[in-house]
Amino acid sequence: MTVTIIRENAIAVVTVDNPPVNALSQTLRQALVDAVAELDADAAVRAVVLICAGRTFIAGADVSEFGKPPQPPHLPDVVASIESAKKPWVAAIHGSALGGGLEVALGCAYRVAVPSASLGLPEVKLGIIPGAGGTVRLPRLIAPAAAVDLVTSGNPVGAKKAVALGLIDAVIDGDLRSGAIAFANDVAEKPLPQPISRRAVPLVDAGFWENAEKAVAAKAKREAAPLKALASIRNASETNFADAMAFERETFLELRGSSQAAALRHVFFAERAAPRPPELTGVAPRGIRSAAVIGGGTMGAGIAAALRDACLPVVLVERDTAAVERGLANIHAIYEGSVKRGRMMQAVADERMAGVIGGDDYGLLADTDLVIEAVFEDLSVKRAVFAKLSDICRSDAVLATNTSYLDPRLIGEGLAQPERFLGLHFFSPAHVMKLLEIVPTETTAPEVLATGFALARLLGKVPVRAGICDGFIGNRIVKVTRAQAERLLLSGATPSAVDAAMRAFGLPMGPFEAQDLGGLDIAAFQRKAARTRGETPFAPVAERLCAIERYGQKSGGGWYDYQSGDRTPKPSETVVAIIAEVAAGRPQRAWDEMSITDAIILPMVNEATRILEERVALRSADIDLVKIHGYGFPRWRGGPMHYAEARGLAEVVAVLDRLAAEGLAEPPCEGLRRPAERRHAISPS
Ligand code: 3HC
Ligand code: NAI
């Protein structure tokens, strides 16, 4: 870490260089305080430019210090010392000014930024609130409604919007350093502006805070930080600066030590580690400048849109001309939807569509860098596709299958240059869902695997390497979840009680609602395949529902009844009767919310641990990312593995043992038992 000071006539340029993102470590905080003192004492200096080296302005507090006791100088004091400097400090922003970085900029007398800069207070995404004046200075600088928006959403704004809000004073086109120095020379002539801390918060309309509270609570659900952030802004508008700062700091420190913050920090670092697995260090990916998708159904269309969103030219190959038209229409419908929802300009949608060429001639693929197959989930259909690709594509083109359950080794069998083949498992809708399971076979070359990870980065997806097994990581765990959900029904719980408990836990939907939405027929098809492999999948009630064609919402009923045109699930007497028949003779018990949650989540953890033991997943945090980004597991719980660790593995094992004794779950695997016993042995009693 270095902070250098260079004098450019009467302007001092303070450059922060603390790679990778200029986070505010203790040494940087100290260096900034020292710089204020040094420049205050230098009579030749009339104004100061605070600028950063590398790819960004200060991106915030150093999150890796959050688990440790705070070390002085504390950030609020650093910001206060910049704000009380005798000369005007000008924050010159490029990249991102986030969290503590923006708070430092709010301490400066002025803020300027390049057009591509973004500014925000993302603390709520880490389970905390701004801790160095963000909630107190911001409403004193910009309209309280805008401050509420920025702080409680955690979403950044671009430079253009920042000027409109009054968050920054100018946008600098061209070289930031010289532009900021010119700006500093101008303001050096003027009296110092009133520090933000001494400004008043503008009055708000009656009912403003109550309405904001309702809106924030509805979005935050069970996340604590957004409402606490709102409370801090409200307090800041109703009390004096010093008291407001004390209130903010107290809330910040309380949340910093909370379990939600620990979970969100875990996810933050897991997401940043995911794109760069250590086993691929130094392996260069192949270049991807063009892509193709085979099959333009649900997945193919979504994958094509994801590739176009990353500006890759896309070829879509279908079975015949009619199917090509349907496939193109599917992609068009995705963009039309984005335009209708106001998320995309029509011109952008048109440009995206113009970059897709459709056809039924595999010859279109002769020079494509990456081909992703998304045809029917049928081994012989997929093998026939790869036989053609093998003949037509360049020998260094990367060839991928999006299969959900088939063994990629069988799909790619017989392929010329098998080292270029791998599984790329997208999640539906593929242009929205962030997860990408990357499934190498034994023959996949390291650079082809690295290409999968590079593609994920290009598409803005979270990549997780998965080994080959039925369902890879995510869907294999889903099978256990569904079996557990049925075990609950057979021992006294109802579908609506199970779904309600899982929603209360933080999932967007319970297992039965989710099956009704996706369709029960898909899982029935997979169970059939499993039985032909000699397996005995457990879904006695689902089998009965499929036998009477209750496939879910699409057939007017599944686990629930649905009235036509209404997606609201209604408890079904038919289902109650079937459950009673299947459950006859089984012991019944009472299920409360917590015990339902345990009977679903802890077997999930058990299966996930087996997945780790088998090295189908390489890191426990990868499993957390799969469940969060593929299945809506609440981020603030950190994923199932983090949840189990936080709960205590000894307790997880004890609950699983109790469930197993009642025949309500598999017993805990050795991979769970061993660390639980080890930790139990070393923890002080
Ligand atoms: N603290 C510590 N490390 C950080 C960090 C932070 N605030 N932000 C990023 N890093 C690390 C990452 O872990 C990663 O490390 P690695 O190379 O060892 O894996 C490295 O910096 C690069 O990060 P990215 O891969 O995310 O880099 P990008 O260029 O893609 O993105 C960024 C840059 C937009 C700045 C992004 O890193 C980001 O959003 N960072 C988080 C910003 C944030 O949340 N700030 C608020 C912190 S809380 C706070 O300030 C509290 C205050 O109010 C008191
Ligand atoms: P779909 O039935 O919606 O689409 C399949 C498309 O492939 C159809 O448009 C069909 O015309 C086309 N097709 C069939 N044979 C072809 C051939 N020989 N050449 C070119 N096109 C051909 O199926 P969906 O849901 O898109 O699934 C595709 C693949 O993605 C499957 O392997 C599936 O398991 C997998 N998958 C599906 C997910 C989902 O949620 N639907 C999630 C993740 C993976």
Q: What angle do CA 624, 629, 632 make, to 5 degrees?
A: 90
Q: What angle do CA 649, 650, 651 make, to 5 degrees?
A: 90
Model pLDDT for residues 620-634, shown as the tens digit of each residue: 999 999 999 999 999
The atom number, within ligand 1, closest to the CA of 64 reads: 2
Alpha helices by DSSP H, listed for 533-561, are: 540-547
Model pLDDT for residues 474-506, shown as the tens digit of each residue: 999 999 999 999 999 999 999 999 999 999 999
Phi/psi region, residue 291 (left: phi>0; alpha: psi -120 to 50; beta: rest), is beta
Nearest ligand (C-alpha, residue 331): 2
Distance CA 467, CA 224 (A): 36
Q: How far is the CA of 367 from the centre of ligand 1 (A)?
A: 38
Q: For the residues 34-58, what does the mean pLDDT come to?
A: 98
Q: Is 134 in the pocket of ligand 1 (CB under 6 A)?
A: yes
Q: What is the pLDDT of residue 682?
A: 63
pLDDT for 676 beyond 90: no
Q: Is 132 in the pocket of ligand 1 (CB under 6 A)?
A: yes
Q: What is the pLDDT of residue 159?
A: 98
- Helices H, strands E: what count in the chain? 28, 19
Nearest ligand (C-alpha, residue 388): 2
683 pLDDT tier (thresholds 50, 70, 90)? low
Q: For the residues 361-385, what does the mean pLDDT come to?
A: 97
Instruction: Choose the residue to mutate in 94, 233, 272 for probing ligand 1, maximizing ligand atoms within 8 Å of C-beta.
Output: 272
Active site residues: 103, 123
**What percentage of the chain exceeds 90 in pLDDT?**
94
Residue 400 DSSP SS3: strand
Q: Is 423 in the pocket of ligand 1 (CB under 6 A)?
A: no
pLDDT for 635 beyond 50: yes
349 pLDDT tier (thresholds 50, 70, 90)? very high
Q: How far is the CA of 110 from the centre of ligand 1 (A)?
A: 24
Q: What is the pLDDT of residue 473?
A: 98
Q: Is 21 in the pocket of ligand 1 (CB under 6 A)?
A: yes
CA 195 from centre of chain: 37
pLDDT for 684 beyond 70: no
CA 334 from centre of chain: 21
Nearest to 417 by CA among 445, 454, 450: 445
Q: What is the pLDDT of residue 340?
A: 97
Instruction: Choose the residue to mutate in 63, 71, 281, 458 for probing ligand 1, maximizing ligand atoms within 8 Å of C-beta.
Output: 63
Q: For the residues 598-606, what does the mean pLDDT come to?
A: 98
Q: Is 640 in the pocket of ligand 1 (CB under 6 A)?
A: no
pLDDT for 188 beyond 70: yes
Q: For the residues 80-104, what does the mean pLDDT come to?
A: 98
Distance CA 361, CA 336 (A): 27
Q: Is 131 in the pocket of ligand 1 (CB under 6 A)?
A: yes
Any idea which residue has 């029917």 for tokens? 376
The atom number, within ligand 2, closest to the CA of 375 reads: 7
The amino acid at residue 73 is P
88 pLDDT tier (thresholds 50, 70, 90)? very high
Q: How far is the CA of 420 from the centre of ligand 2 (A)?
A: 21
**DSSP per-residue codes, 105-120:** HHHSSEEEE-TT-EEE
565 pLDDT tier (thresholds 50, 70, 90)? confident
Find the helix or strand (DSSP H, E) in which 346 lies: helix 346-354
Q: How far is the CA of 154 from the centre of ligand 1 (A)?
A: 14
Q: What's the mean per-residue pLDDT of the chain?
A: 96
The atom number, within ligand 2, closest to the CA of 299 reads: 26
pLDDT for 113 beyond 90: yes
The atom number, within ligand 1, closest to the CA of 125 reads: 44
Q: Using a 6 Å CB cutoff, which residues line ligand 2?
A: 294-300, 317-319, 323, 327, 374-377, 381, 385, 402-404, 426-428
Tokens of 562: 């649905």
Distance CA 103, CA 131 (A): 9
The atom number, within ligand 2, closest to the CA of 327 reads: 9
Distance CA 177, CA 14 (A): 11
Are the beta carbons of 120 and 157 closer than 8 angstroms? yes
Task: List beta partners, residue 465.
Answer: 438
Contacts 24+ apart (CB under 8 A), 157-161: 157/118, 157/119, 157/120, 158/115, 158/116, 158/117, 158/118, 159/93, 159/113, 159/114, 159/115, 159/116, 159/117, 159/118, 159/119, 160/115
Distance CA 104, CA 91 (A): 8
Strands (E), 217-366: 291-294, 314-317, 356-359
Any idea which residue has 């033991």 for tokens? 613
Distance CA 193, CA 366 (A): 64
Model pLDDT for residues 136-153, shown as the tens digit of each residue: 999 999 999 999 999 999
Backbone angles phi, psi at 154, to 5 degrees: 75, 0
CB atoms within 10 A of CB 33: 17
Q: How far is the CA of 297 from the centre of ligand 2 (A)?
A: 5
The atom number, within ligand 2, closest to the CA of 518 reads: 40
Q: For the residues 185-195, what does the mean pLDDT come to?
A: 96
Q: For the residues 278-294, what does the mean pLDDT come to?
A: 97
Q: How far is the CA of 249 from the centre of ligand 1 (A)?
A: 21
Query: Closest Cα to atom 14, ligand 2: which residue?
Result: 375
Q: What is the pLDDT of residue 522?
A: 86
Residues shown for the chain: 685
Distance CA 57, CA 93 (A): 5
Are the beta carbons of 636 and 223 closer than 8 angstroms? yes
**DSSP per-residue codes, 38-83:** HHHT-TT--EEEEEE-TT-S---B-GGGTTS---SSPHHHHHHHHH
Nearest to 105 by CA among 7, 160, 95: 95
Q: How far is the CA of 63 from the centre of ligand 1 (A)?
A: 8
Q: Is 274 in the pocket of ligand 1 (CB under 6 A)?
A: no
Find the helix or strand (DSSP H, E) in which 13 lies: strand 11-17
Q: How far is the CA of 189 from the centre of ligand 2 (A)?
A: 67
Q: What is the pLDDT of residue 228?
A: 98
Nearest ligand (C-alpha, residue 319): 2
* Residue 659 burial by Cβ neighbours in a 10 Å radius (0-12, 13-18, 19+): buried
Residue 435 DSSP SS3: strand
Least confident of 54-68, 100-114, 381-395, 570-584: 54-68
Q: Is 118 in the pocket of ligand 1 (CB under 6 A)?
A: no
Nearest ligand (C-alpha, residue 359): 2
Q: Is 59 in the pocket of ligand 1 (CB under 6 A)?
A: yes
Backbone angles phi, psi at 585, to 5 degrees: 90, -10
Residue 626 DSSP SS3: helix
Q: For the residues 574-594, what does the mean pLDDT come to?
A: 97
Nearest ligand (C-alpha, residue 281): 1
Tokens of 597: 């949650």
Q: For the residues 430-455, what does the mean pLDDT come to?
A: 98
**What percentage of the chain exceeds 70 in pLDDT?**
99
Q: Is 444 in the pocket of ligand 1 (CB under 6 A)?
A: no
The structural domains of the chain, ordered by start, are 3-257 (3.90.226.10), 279-465 (3.40.50.720), 474-615+648-681 (1.10.1040.50)
The atom number, within ligand 2, closest to the CA of 401 reads: 32
Q: Do strands 2-8 and 11-17 pair parallel, antiparallel, or not at all (unpaired)?
A: antiparallel
Q: For the residues 36-49, what does the mean pLDDT come to?
A: 98
Distance CA 471, CA 481 (A): 13
Nearest ligand (C-alpha, residue 471): 2
Nearest to 119 by CA among 148, 146, 144, 150: 150
Q: Do strands 421-426 and 435-440 pair parallel, antiparallel, or not at all (unpaired)?
A: antiparallel
Q: Is 75 in the pocket of ligand 1 (CB under 6 A)?
A: yes
Are the beta carbons of 473 and 466 closer than 8 angstroms? yes
Q: How far is the CA of 544 from the centre of ligand 2 (A)?
A: 27
Q: What is the pLDDT of residue 678?
A: 83
Query: Closest Cα to atom 38, ligand 1: which residue?
Result: 59
The atom number, within ligand 1, closest to the CA of 134 reads: 53
Nearest ligand (C-alpha, residue 54): 1
Query: Closest Cα to atom 17, ligand 2: which residue?
Result: 319
Are the beta carbons of 299 and 426 closer than 8 angstroms? yes
Q: How far is the CA of 298 from the centre of ligand 2 (A)?
A: 7
Q: What is the pLDDT of residue 685?
A: 41
Any idea which residue has 């270049």 for tokens? 287
Nearest to 598 by CA among 537, 539, 660: 660
Q: How far is the CA of 323 from the centre of ligand 2 (A)?
A: 12
Query: Closest Cα to atom 15, ligand 2: which residue?
Result: 375
More reliable by pLDDT, 681 or 141: 141
pLDDT for 561 beyond 60: yes
Q: How far is the CA of 300 from the centre of ligand 2 (A)?
A: 6
